[in-house]
Structure 1
Amino acid sequence: MTIAPDDARQGASHRYRAIRAFVQSTDDTLPGKLEITKEGIVHDMMAPVGPHELTTVHLRRRLEKVMPEENVAHTGEPDVEDESEGIMRRPDVMVIAMVDMDVPGSFDPRTLIAAIEVVSRSNPDNDWVTKMRDYPLIGIPVYAIFDPRTGEGAVLTDIHSTPDGPRYATRKDFVYGEDVTIGDWTIPTDGLPLYKDRTGTESEG
């Protein structure tokens, strides 16, 4: 049987809506957060406290000190969603204009100024691999990654077309202690926490 393109799109859209309904029904009952990517559901078992959350607090405060008042570094709900691509994500920090937050449901990812992720200790590939692919695909212009495992990170910009779809063309790596530019604003990265091993010693990679 041949499936017409419109039928295939409708089938994919129906599948995505079913997955989204499941994710939303379980969102308050499971630890961490559930997101939807091209491969299906991703369960990020991020630590609810400690270096992960403390890093998001530091980043939010540092950005809001240098950004104009009409922009915020938002943490928490809602998700960013592109149903046509079958992707629903919830960045740890979303840099966005307040006016673009006044919408029903999920944020349009193309209204974000930047998405920032603090790498999960349990699933680092979610931040370093799949989100690096998903975020340019849904039009997020700047993606910044902070990795408390290593005290390093990267800022990715300049979406361009490739045979595999939109990708970031520019990557600027940094180590904690250096200033880092996200969008139009530069913040310090000194004093950001690192994950600790079971002995309580800070991780060095």
Structure 2
Amino acid sequence: MTIAPDDAQQGASPLYRAMRDFVQSMDDTLPGKFEITKEGIVHDRMAPIGLHELTTLHLRKRLESVMPEELVAHTGTPDVEAESEGIMRHPDVMVIAWADMDVPGSFDPRTLIAAVEVVSRSNPDNDWVGKMRDYPLLGIPVYAIFDPRTATGAVLSDIHPTPSGPRYATRKDFMYGEDVTIAEWTISTADLPRYPNE
């Protein structure tokens, strides 16, 4: 579900601050996750299910096993936020330096090395469409998507300008079972959980 304001383009406007206050007030009140996009508030109505969380854990551990110690594949809070763009997102996994986490409030998205998302069964367009649009606007250089519905994914990189704003120029699709490179690190996608067929 998306709640679209008339002037969502206004970065740190009173409307954006009101949306942010609403999102923060809804944390721990309703199930699911709220984020602010260029189109308004997105509510992924389902709380992450076990297979989503298990995939996230696998990816975090696999990344941390190949990254240098000064980096972390972070799966907790806070959000990443760019008030000037009017966007507040919460990646499932954030590849970031320990030093860049020592900040009050939200992380600066420009400090992320990569964002990793596990596609939600209840709202796949949030990952495949909305975040594919918003993450280059935030300056996140690499975006990796893992889709347990189809056992496929993609790694997007090389932000470049377009008439619609910054977009990823390079997309490398993969199937579960293949090795995948996220930024500088290659991990296996073997044995990742898949959502059961409905």
TM superposition outliers: structure 1 runs of 4+ over 2 Å: 8-12, 45-49
1:74 aligns with 2:71: no
Deviation at 1:9, TM superposition (A): 8.2
Aligned partner of 2:168 in structure 1 is 168
Q: Distance in 2 between matches of 1:10 and 1:116?
A: 27
> 1:173 aligns to what SS in structure 2?
strand
Deviation, 1:12, is: 5.9
Bigger radius of gyration among the two: 1
| CA distance 1:69–1:46, shift in 2 (3 Å) | farther
CA contact (8 A) 1:112 1:140 kept: yes
Indicate the residue corresponding to 1:48 in structure 2: 48
Q: Separation in 1 of the partners of 2:11 and 2:187?
A: 45
AA partner of residue 125 (structure 1): D
Matched residue of 1:53: which SS?
helix
SS at match of 2:13: helix
TM-score (norm 1): 0.90
Cα distance in structure 1, aligned partners of 2:58 and 2:9: 42
Query: For residue 83 of structure 1, what is the aligned residue in structure 2?
Result: 83
What is the one-letter code of the residue matched to 1:40? G
Q: Following the alignment from structure 1 to structure 2, what is the Cα–Cα distance between the partners of residues 55 and 120?
A: 11
Q: 2:17 is aligned with what amino acid?
A: R
Task: Please list the CA deviations of residues 130-161 of structure 1 after superposition, one character each: whole Å capped at 9, or x if unmatched.
Answer: 10000001100000000000000000000000
1: CA distance, partners of 2:89 / 2:11 = 21
Aligned position for 1:159: 159
- Structure 1 contact 157–171 (Cα < 8 Å) conserved: yes
Whichever residue aligns with residue 95 of structure 1, its letter is: V
The one-letter amino acid paired with 2:13 is: S
Q: Which runs of 5+ in 1 are unaligned?
A: 1-7, 199-205
Name the CA distance, whole Å, in 2 between partners of 1:139 and 1:11: 15
- What is the TM-score with the length of structure 2 in the denominator? 0.93
Instruction: State the match for 1:37 in structure 2.
Output: 37
- Deviation of 1:38 (Å): 1.1
Q: Distance in 2 between matches of 1:83 and 1:181?
A: 30
Identical-residue share of aligned pairs (%): 81
The CA RMSD over aligned residues, in Å, is 1.6
Preserved contact between residue 33 and residue 43 of structure 2 (Cα < 8 Å) = yes
The letter for the 2-side match of 1:20 is R
Judge conservation of contact 1:81–1:87 (CA < 8 Å) in 2: yes
CA distance in 2, matches of 1:31, 1:47: 5
Q: Is the partner of 1:195 in helix, strand or coil?
A: coil
Any idea what SS the aligned residue of 1:68 has?
coil
Q: CA deviation at 1:49?
A: 3.2
In the TM superposition, what is the alpha-carbon distance from 1:50 to its structure 2 partner? 1.8
Q: Which residue in the other structure is 2:177 paired with?
A: 177
Identify the range of structure 1 (114-123 vs 25-34) with the bigger mean alpha-carbon deviation.
Answer: 25-34
> Matched residue of 1:115: which SS?
strand
Shift of 1:10: 7.0
Offset of 1:45 from its aligned partner? 2.9
> How far apart are 1:28 and its partner, in Å?
1.0
- Equivalent residue, structure 1, for 2:58: 58
How far residue 80 of structure 1 moved from its aligned partner, in angstroms, is 0.1
Match of 1:4 in 2: none
